[in-house]
Amino acid sequence: MNCMLIGVYDRYILVDAGLMFPDFTDLGMQKILPDTSFLAQWRDKIEAVVITHGHEDHIGALPWVVPALDPSTPIYAGGFPMQLIKRRLQEFNLYDEGRLHTINMRQPFQLGPFECTPIRVTHSIPDCCGLVLRSDHGTIVHTGDWKIDENPVDGEVFDREMFESLGREGVALFMSDSTNVLAPGRTTSEALVETSLVNRVLGHQGKGRVITTQFASNLHRMAAVKKAADASGRKICFIGMSLNHYLEAAQREGRAPFDPKEVIDAADLDDYDPNQLLIVTTGSQAEPRAQLTMAAHGLSHQLKLQASDLVLYSAKVIPGNDTRVMQMMNAISQMGPEIAMGRDENLHTSGHAYKGELEEVMRYVKPQHFLPVHGEYAFLTAHAQLARDNGVNYTSVIRNGQMLGVGERRNRNTVSIGSAAGVAGAEEILGRERTDTMQVLGEVELINYYNDGNKGTGTATEMGLEERQVLAVEGIVVCAVDVGRHPEMIRAVAEASAPNAGPAAAAAAARAASQRRLKANVRVTTRGMWVGLGDRLLEQLHTAAKEAVERLPGDAALSAVERVVADALRRTCKAFNRRRPEVVVIAHEFDPRAGAAAAASARRRDTSSDHGTDLRGFQGGQQQRGGGGWQGQQRGYQGRGGQQQQQRMSDREAREVLAENDRRRQQRVREADLLSAPKGAELEDLASSADSSDDDQAVQQLLGGAEKIAPGGDSGAAPKKRRGRPPKAAAADLQELPPGFLDQRRAANPRDHPEQGGNVEYP
Rounded Cα distance, 145 and 143, in Å: 6
51 vs 303 by CB, closer to Zn ion = 51
167 vs 351 by CB, closer to Zn ion = 351
55 vs 563 by CB, closer to Zn ion = 55
Q: ∠ CA(8), CA(14), CA(20), 5° rounding?
A: 140
Q: Where are the beta strands (DSSP E) in 445-493?
A: 449-451, 457-458, 476-484
**Cα separation of the two ends of the chain:** 45
Rounded Cα distance, 611 and 594, in Å: 26
Name the minimum Å distance from CB 527 to Zn ion. 41
Residue-by-residue DSSP string for 671-696 = HH-GGGSPPGGGPPPTGGG--SSHHH
Name the minimum Å distance from CB 56 to Zn ion. 9
Name the minimum Å distance from CB 112 to Zn ion. 23
145 vs 535 by CB, closer to Zn ion = 145
Rounded Cα distance, 382 and 94, in Å: 40
Positions touching Zn ion (CB under 5 A) are 55, 145
Name the minimum Å distance from CB 720 to Zn ion. 60
Collapsing DSSP to helix, strand or coil, 100 comes out as strand
- Are the C-beta atoms of residues 190 and 151 closer than 8 Å to each other? yes
How crowded is residue 441: how many other Cβ atoms within 10 Å of its Cβ?
19
Query: For the stretch 205-217, what's the b/e string if a residue is b when 16 or more beta carbons lie within 10 angstroms of its beta carbon?
Result: eeebbbbbbbbbb
53 vs 226 by CB, closer to Zn ion = 53
- Are the C-beta atoms of residues 559 and 672 closer than 8 Å to each other? no
Name the minimum Å distance from CB 420 to Zn ion. 26
- Are the C-beta atoms of residues 339 and 311 closer than 8 Å to each other? yes
Name the minimum Å distance from CB 190 to Zn ion. 14
Rounded Cα distance, 339 and 344, in Å: 13
Rounded Cα distance, 271 and 235, in Å: 12
- Torsion on CA atoms 130, 135, 138, 142, rounded to nearest 10: -10
Name the minimum Å distance from CB 53 to Zn ion. 6
Name the minimum Å distance from CB 196 to Zn ion. 22
Name the minimum Å distance from CB 351 to Zn ion. 6
145 vs 567 by CB, closer to Zn ion = 145
- Are the C-beta atoms of residues 281 and 239 closer than 8 Å to each other? yes
How crowded is residue 156: how many other Cβ atoms within 10 Å of its Cβ?
16
Name the minimum Å distance from CB 99 to Zn ion. 23
CB-side exposure of 696: number of CA atoms within 13 Å?
12
Name the minimum Å distance from CB 482 to Zn ion. 59
350 vs 416 by CB, closer to Zn ion = 350
55 vs 605 by CB, closer to Zn ion = 55
- Are the C-beta atoms of residues 391 and 418 closer than 8 Å to each other? no
Rounded Cα distance, 763 and 742, in Å: 8
222 vs 585 by CB, closer to Zn ion = 222
177 vs 253 by CB, closer to Zn ion = 177
CB-side exposure of 10: number of CA atoms within 13 Å?
11
Name the minimum Å distance from CB 179 to Zn ion. 9
350 vs 390 by CB, closer to Zn ion = 350
- Bridge-based pairing of strands 114-121 and 109-111 is antiparallel
The burial of 435, by beta-carbon neighbours within 10 Å (0-12 exposed, 13-18 middle, 19 or more buried), is given as exposed
Name the minimum Å distance from CB 59 to Zn ion. 10
- Are the C-beta atoms of residues 608 and 509 closer than 8 Å to each other? no
- Bridge-based pairing of strands 11-15 and 46-50 is parallel
145 vs 194 by CB, closer to Zn ion = 145
Q: Which residues pair with 134 in a beta bridge?
A: 115, 139
Q: ∠ CA(59), CA(64), CA(68), 5° rounding?
A: 115
380 vs 573 by CB, closer to Zn ion = 380
